[in-house]
A and B are shown apart, each in its own frame.
Chain A
Amino acid sequence: MNRSLIEVDEPSEQHASHHPNLQHHFGTFEQQFDASKIGMWLFLATEVLLFGGLFVGFALSQAAHPQAFVEAHHHLDKNLGALNTVVLLLSSFTMVMAVHAAATNQRKKLIVNLVITLACAAAFLVVKYFEYEHKIHDGLLPGQFYSHKGDTVPNQFIFFSFYFMMTGLHGLHIVGGMIAIGWVLRRALRGDFDAKYYAPVDLVGLYWHLVDLIWIYLFPLLYLIS
């Protein structure tokens, strides 16, 4: 192949003294950030389909046992559910404020908002704990462990199977999110982030918003449908 010599900009060479957070196979920060965002959105897509499968199962089980589901959902405390919804919406707000603070070089605000987000997540789990405790006390448990007495409508255990699976899987994602936020908080305290590099905050934020999004659908489906 005939090669003529022309000066070519070689970004990989010019970044010999590059930012420590720029990985070797990327040419620019923008490229790396865009790629990581695409990656996170793809992961979120898989979460949508994972939870979505549970939603589909719930919807079809409800179609097959309508009276059982209506009866069963009365055991859920709407007020606690609404409280949890508000708590998560608040945590989404503080999360996006944290990202904004990172992007505008406001380290203190970033840390404060991350801490509040964590606190809201913990509050959510505390409320959930009380809800679960109440269910366990009343024997409203999934599947073969259902031991609630005095049901006039049969098959209510199916509703509680889904209740525990969906809120349980969601709760696991809350815990995972708390770990991720905790990791980002630790890095923020260390001073890792600035307006040029705050991708981990942004990406963890995206995950957290999805956890909130899922609850936005879970709440009416489980607590409010009648």
Chain B
Amino acid sequence: MSDHTHVHGGPKLYALVLAALLVLTAITVAASRINFGSNMTNVIIAMLIASVKGSLVALFFMHLRWDKPMNAIIFCSSLFFLGLFLITCYTDVVSRPAVEPTNLKAPAPAPPSKT
């Protein structure tokens, strides 16, 4: 069926991966209770843990570890383009100057601080 005559993976490995995923979930919940400083840092840490979990699912449950490389290339490409989209839009949004109203009789209010 596939080019390897033996089947990769196996119950032991999968159970191990599941255990790791459950532990990481617990870590995610615990980490959310800690404030690491700015909102951005919290988000990044949460996303990093999620990415570790995601990598485990992709590599072992979805068999990318043993598949032909094309499948992994396809998957990583989609993540790459998504990252491009996110980073570019984000760059635009944060680098826009604050919009001050120009028709006020009183002086303009102080701009809201960005978190």
Contacts and interface: CB of A to CB of B under 8 A. Distances in A.
Q: Please tell me whether chains A and B touch each other in their complex, using a CB distance cut-off of 8 A.
A: yes
A216 interface: yes
Interface residues of A, number: 56
Given A85-B25, A93-B14, A198 B1 contact: yes
Contact of B18 (A55, A93, A199, A226): A93
Contact of B1 (A44, A45, A196, A219): A196
A226 B31 CA distance: 11
Interface residues of B, number: 50
Interface in B1-49: 1-3, 7, 9-11, 14-15, 17-18, 21-22, 25, 28-29, 32, 35, 39, 42-43, 46-47, 49
Contact of A63 (B60, B82, B90): B90
A85 B11 CA distance: 21
A96 B14 contact: yes
A127 interface: no
Contacts of B70: 38, 41
A201 to B, nearest CB: 11
A185 interface: no
Nearest to A69: B39
A216 B50 contact: yes
A48 interface: yes
A48 B54 contact: no
Interface in A23-66: 29-30, 33-34, 37-38, 41-42, 44-46, 48-49, 52-53, 55-56, 59-60, 63-64, 66
Given A59-B90, A224-B28, A45 B75 contact: yes
Contacts of A70: 39
Nearest to A43: B74
Given A86-B25, A93-B18, A206-B62, A212 B46 contact: no
Contacts of B17: 93
B82 A49 contact: yes
A82 B25 CA distance: 8
A110 interface: no
A220 to B, nearest CB: 4
Contacts of B86: 52, 55-56, 59
Contacts of B21: 89
22 contacts: A30-B2, A37-B71, A38-B71, A38-B74, A45-B74, A55-B82, A60-B90, A64-B93, A78-B29, A82-B29, A89-B22, A93-B14, A93-B15, A103-B1, A199-B1, A213-B57, A216-B50, A219-B50, A220-B28, A220-B50, A221-B43, A221-B46
